[in-house]
Structure 1
Amino acid sequence: MIEFERFILKNGLTVLIHYDSTTPFVVINTLYNVGAKDENPKQTGFAHLFEHLMFGGSINIPEYDIPLQNAGGENNAFTNNDFTNYYLTIPKTNLETGLWLESDRMLSLAFTQKSLEVQKKVVIEEFKQRYLNQPYGDVSHLIRNMAYTIHPYQWPTIGKDISHIEKATLNDVKQFFFNHYAPNNAILSLAGNITKDEVKPLIEKWFGNIPLRTIKKRSIPKEPIQTEKHILTVKRNVAASAIFKVFHMSDRHSRQYYTTDLISDILSSGKSSRLYQHLVKEKQLFTNINAYISGSIDPGLFTIEGILNENIKPEEAEKAIDMELQEISQGNFTEKELTKVKNKFEANYIFSNYDLEERALNLAYYELLGDANLINNEINKYCQVSKNDILDVAQKLFTPENASVLYYIAEK
């Protein structure tokens, strides 16, 4: 049981406090309810750009990293399609320094042209290195654009096109900040050797006077049900051909989410799993193959991806994948397999929450989903999944019309 206390400031900031007496450190995790799905389709990549801008100086603090490092702290951040998360770890004795740093950049960034240009260059270089110049780097763009027609999951966090970042103006980023970055659109989660009584006055001191803002209303179109199979073939300068096959799945709040996650584990969790044993070792169609879910809050994607052995045609490989999926849909798996992946999830989940940073993040994430106490119910939800649940979800999930397939062919 991960215990916590919650309070909400007058400006709408939700605060979670988790006490752990075994550590001299405190993690300060700030989650903003804004991700790539909140972007203008003609100005994508802004949520990720802001992840970088938030380290480029705030209204009263020219450099974020120097005072944090002087206080013995370290930090990082990440962005996805649903939210943006910032976290720092600092000795408890310097807790107030961490709160000062986080509150100032929630209040306002410095918004200088110099900072914008520096961070634009960093993001543009990341776009080039990870998505344009890296083998298989454009897969996410291709798959998302094929699977989604109107939902903003159709572009990855880095953005649709590099030109969107290149053209970003200071006014554009100011508008994005004040539309989304606010205490009433954030969750502040603290974990460490601290109590609510000792930290609440400090949080009120540093965050209490930040004005709440009018948050841009989220209006995200619902993706229509896919009614026909999508297939795309591309040729690229890569060492080996590959296949990527995705299916539309449920949203994060659905009971089916847990079932779908366990299906991916039955298929692909470790070298004893079905896909590896049957398609890599026995049939030798692939050098490597994996199945996983996107984990997104809105309806996401179930993905199977594999690197083909030489001279294997993608159509042959896809047929073999479909046969494995059919086995699941027909119930040709054992209770032992299901129990095994449940046990593995439970062990991994418990182990991950030993980490202080992970606890702080997860509390904020589950609060975003509706209630931080959901963190204590996840294992039960996975354990409740039955074989019949697997059958029901698999039969609806693995249909031809629900699939999008990318044949990624190595140029000879």
Structure 2
Amino acid sequence: MKINKKTLDNGLRLVHHEDTSTQMVALNVVYDVGARDEHPDHTGFAHLFEHLMFGGSVHIPDYDAPLQLAGGENNAWTNNDITNYYLTVPKSNVETGFWLESDRMLELAFSEQSLEVQRGVVMEEFKQRCLNQPYGDVGHLLRPLAYEVHPYRWPTIGKELSHIANATLDEVKDFFYRYYAPNNAVLAVTGNISWTDTVRLAEKWFAPVPRRDVPVRSLPREPLQTGERRRTVERNVPLDALFMAYHMCSREDADYYAFDILSDILSNGRSSRLNRRLVQEQKLFSSLDAYISGTRDAGLVHISGKPAAGVSLEQAEAAVRKELGELKNALVGTQELEKVKNKFESAQIFGNINYLNVATNLAWFELAGQAEDIDREVDKYRSVTAEQLHTVAEQAFREENSAVLYYKKQN
């Protein structure tokens, strides 16, 4: 992939890939701030900011209106590590995108009214997703079970509703000026726009945004877990559910790719081990899933499922542990491993056909290391061996490395 890069004087990293097969352009801005950067007593701020960034900026009272008039669309998302904003716009109106994104990087239109509106939206989302939805509080239960000191111990939406309810305008402003800075962001531009035009527009609109004093990140390192952790809760839900988590490495670690492949061997498609054996053949689960958190700091392998009628949580857990034991006791076969690698390669290739996906991926890879890593992902997965999978499974899938949540239906 032909990638162009430049760092502006204010520290903003600019990455670009031209795609003349579309008449659209995508701008993706990723800020190096997520829920892990929050104070334990003031959580949910990164997610609140995702909403506040659409509430108007210093020179533009309404973000959505001019973009819609230009034929564009936008959205955003936050996780524990980053906050990501993107828009798409016809190439003839691309300058509108640069104007909008640069102005809200410069300064938001801070007001008590805007804060009140967006705070209300986020609080409703918290209630809807975490309090009023079956199994909605799993993140609030499992995360602090798995993590004792690292800020991954709370979900992106926040530890508790009061943290958002009590957020003040001064606290919000402080969060913005600490993290929403050109020298803490990457701008990826893809689609039907030349590198020359991209640099010209970036210099025109983003270069005037001042560099800010971004705090040096110093997060507590999660200590090695030495004993199994368990919790049982009862809730008004239709079915019992099992949630298990095992500590794994960070996104930057070489073993990350082995963990990702292991999760796919367990639960990617109808022929995956957990699906085929425990859902289809033994009928112990009505549904069962395995995935990795993919976090920049040391993450988790998640396994979650709902046992079939008449199957206890103890039986269900024992069946899962038996499958994990097989990964520790025997090498994954060549054909099974190759199938998973082929699936990933095809997903990677097809995923990077779309100009917007390319913008999002380029921004992420540049933030995490360098944009050119986007072309090395397939090779990294291809290099994983059966022996590496065996070693990683032995290290990770130990009882003393696990957190187990029994989520029981109230009688």
Which TM-score band (shorter chain)? Answer: over 0.9
The CA RMSD over aligned residues, in Å, is 0.8
2:182 maps to what in 1?
Answer: 183
Deviations 1:63-88 (A, max 9, x none): 00000000000000000000000000
Question: How far does residue 219 in structure 1 lie from its aligned partner after superposition?
Answer: 1.3
Q: Within 5 A, what are the aligned runs for 1:11-410?
A: 11-331=10-330, 333-410=332-409
1:316 deviates by 1.1
For the residues of structure 2 that align with 1:360 and 1:111, how far apart are their CA atoms? Answer: 29
Give the match's secondary structure for 1:408. Answer: strand
- In structure 2, C-alpha distance between the alignment counterparts of 1:400 and 1:202, rounded to whole Å: 55
| 1:310 CA drift (Å) | 1.9
Give 3-state SS (helix, strand or coil) of 2:310's partner. Answer: coil
TM-fit CA distance, 1:313 = 1.2
Task: Describe the superposition over 1:245-300 as per-residue Cα deviations: whole angstroms up to 9, x where unpaired.
Answer: 10000000111100011011111111111111211122211101011000111110
The letter of the residue matching 1:33 is D
1:138-191: CA deviation from partner (whole Å, max 9, x where unpaired): 011111010000000000100000000000010010000000000000100000
**Equivalent pair of 1:291/1:303 in contact (CA under 8 Å):** yes
Contact 2:331/2:387 (8 A) holds in 1: no
Distance (whole Å) between structure 1 residues aligned to residue 332 and residue 12 of structure 2:
47
Matched position secondary structure for 1:87: strand
Query: Are the equivalent residues in 2 in contact too, given 1:327–1:333 (CA < 8 A)?
Result: no
Residue deviations 1:354-409 (CA, integer Å, cap 9, x gap): 11111001001001111110100000000011110010000001011000000001
Alignment length (residue pairs) = 411
Amino acid at match of 1:333: V
Amino acid in the other structure paired with 1:301: L
Contact 1:280 1:286 in 2 (8 A): yes
Spell out, residue by residue over 1:184-242, the C-alpha distance to the aligned partner (whole angstroms, 9 max, x if none). Answer: 00100000111221221211111111110000221111000000000000001111101
Per-residue deviation, 1:332: 5.1
CA distance in 2, matches of 1:113, 1:306: 43
| Residue identity matched to 1:211 | P
The percent identity for this pair of structures is 54
Structure 2, unaligned stretches of length 5 or more? none
The CA distance in 2 between the partners of 1:277 and 1:197, in whole Å, is 52
1:411 CA drift (Å): 1.1
Moved more, 198-207 or 221-230: 198-207
Q: 1:333: how far off?
A: 3.3
Q: Match of 1:273, as an amino acid?
A: S
**Structure 1 counterpart of 2:276, one-letter code:** Q
- TM-score, normalised by the number of residues in structure 1: 0.99
* Partner AA of 2:41 in structure 1: K
The letter of the residue matching 1:40 is H
Q: Which 4+ stretches in 1 moved above 6 angstroms?
A: none
The separation in 2 between residues aligned to 1:90 and 1:265, in whole angstroms, is: 35
Q: Structure 2 CA distance, aligned partners of 1:96 and 1:314?
A: 56
1:79 aligned partner, one-letter code: T
Q: Distance in 2 between matches of 1:297 and 1:185?
A: 16
CA contact (8 A) 1:286 1:307 kept: yes
Kindly indicate whether the alpha-carbon contact (under 8 Å) linking 1:58 and 1:104 is maintained by their aligned counterparts in 2: yes
